Chains A and B, each alone.
Chain A
């Protein structure tokens, strides 16, 4: 807890939280939204293809989406660390925030597993395996859960009173 308070009290955290600069909290949280749209949006596109929508769309070229999705993830990992550091004691003791972290962990494992399932030979190309479909459904549910838990940290638990989160 002392460590969390020290992180919260650091110059950087103070700048993010209280400087009022457009480049601090507002820009960081904007980037966090963009990263979310990239990783969740493109995951959704792949999941929908796996589940049989757009059946004529070849799957193989979609492997190139994964580096873009990882870029979205890293934007959010870095911006997320900055945002969490700004309010470290409240965030790290918020069960919703910790739940969000766990859900994201599972979502990433699902993403990597789906990539293996889709692109490791032999793939038939068109007919999706039951495993791939199950991973796609899991992916959609986990990302929905991560967004929900993230949004609700502004309303429930010790992080609820943080200004600016709304």
Chain B
């Protein structure tokens, strides 16, 4: 399925543009990928640090109001990432480093799902300035920080361990 999707993607105009049809598209997407990373890590990481007990003066519900900006960073990176993939799918399709990065993103997604599906987010929302979040929420926060750090690591290792760019 991944292979047929990749073959289709390789035939699209997006792939042509990313491969060099529009020479400025690749550097532009790389720049946006770093900006999206900073938005995602900055906002999500700030929430994680607060849940881990740093910056206890910040009440959780108002802090969550910044979350859409972290989600926006993720969407930027999803779209620019699809652009990279479309440009040369076959350097990623059998690439362990690439799939490790995707696996870490999936685990981070599961982590977020657990946070909301278990009602943990509702309990965290009640946590005001100076109060501690439940232990389970601290575990989610620690997992989130480690997983996103792992995503950056595997992404950064693509050229060195994965032989891709």
Chain B residues whose CB sits within 8 angstroms of the CB of A164 once the complex forms = 159-160
Residue B42, interface by CB 8 Å: yes
The reply to whether B38 and A22 form a contact with Cβ atoms under 8 Å apart is no
Q: How far is the CA of A27 from the CA of B56 in the complex (A)?
A: 32
In B62-83, the 8 Å CB interface with A consists of 62-63, 65-66, 69
Q: How far is the CA of A64 from the CA of B34 in the complex (A)?
A: 25
Chain A residues whose CB sits within 8 angstroms of the CB of B54 once the complex forms = 64
Residue B146, interface by CB 8 Å: no
Interface residues on A, range: 35 or more
The reply to whether A166 and B159 form a contact with Cβ atoms under 8 Å apart is yes
The reply to whether B55 and A155 form a contact with Cβ atoms under 8 Å apart is no
The reply to whether B55 and A45 form a contact with Cβ atoms under 8 Å apart is no
Most A CB atoms within 10 A — which of B34, B42, B65, B161? Answer: B42
The listed residue (A29, A53, A143) touching B38 by CB distance below 8 A is A143
**Distance of B84 from chain A, by nearest CB (Å):** 12
Q: Mark A16-47, 1 if CB is under 8 A from B, else 0.
A: 00000010011001100110111011111100
Residue A2, interface by CB 8 Å: no
Q: How far is the CA of A35 from the CA of B98 in the complex (A)?
A: 22
Chain A residues whose CB sits within 8 angstroms of the CB of B37 once the complex forms = 33, 36-37, 41
Chain B residues whose CB sits within 8 angstroms of the CB of A64 once the complex forms = 54-55, 57
The reply to whether B46 and A54 form a contact with Cβ atoms under 8 Å apart is no
Residue A148, interface by CB 8 Å: yes
Q: How far is the CA of A143 from the CA of B43 in the complex (A)?
A: 16
- Known A-B contacts A43-B42, A164-B159; the reply to A155 vs B27 at CB < 8 A is yes
The reply to whether A22 and B62 form a contact with Cβ atoms under 8 Å apart is no
The reply to whether A48 and B69 form a contact with Cβ atoms under 8 Å apart is yes
| Count of inter-chain pairs, beta carbons less than 8 A | 117
The reply to whether A49 and B57 form a contact with Cβ atoms under 8 Å apart is no
The reply to whether A42 and B156 form a contact with Cβ atoms under 8 Å apart is no
Residue B107, interface by CB 8 Å: no
Chain A residues whose CB sits within 8 angstroms of the CB of B106 once the complex forms = none
Q: Mark B12-38, 1 if CB is under 8 A from A, else 0.
A: 000000000000000100110011011
Residue B45, interface by CB 8 Å: yes
Chain B residues whose CB sits within 8 angstroms of the CB of A36 once the complex forms = 34, 37-38
The reply to whether B35 and A57 form a contact with Cβ atoms under 8 Å apart is no
Q: How far is the CA of A48 from the CA of B56 in the complex (A)?
A: 19
The reply to whether A38 and B66 form a contact with Cβ atoms under 8 Å apart is no
The reply to whether B62 and A61 form a contact with Cβ atoms under 8 Å apart is no
Q: Mark B102-135, 1 if CB is under 8 A from A, else 0.
A: 0000000000000000000000000001000000
Residue contacts A-B, CB under 8 angstroms, 12 given: A33-B156, A40-B35, A41-B37, A41-B38, A48-B69, A54-B63, A57-B62, A147-B31, A147-B34, A147-B38, A151-B30, A155-B27
Interface of A toward B, CB cutoff 8 Å: 22, 25-26, 29-30, 33-34, 36-38, 40-45, 48-49, 53-58, 60-62, 64-65, 68, 143-144, 147-148, 150-152, 154-155, 164, 166
Other than the given A42-B45, A147-B38, 15 more pairs (CB < 8 A) read A22-B161, A30-B152, A33-B37, A40-B35, A44-B42, A45-B42, A56-B61, A57-B58, A58-B58, A61-B129, A64-B55, A143-B38, A144-B35, A152-B27, A155-B27
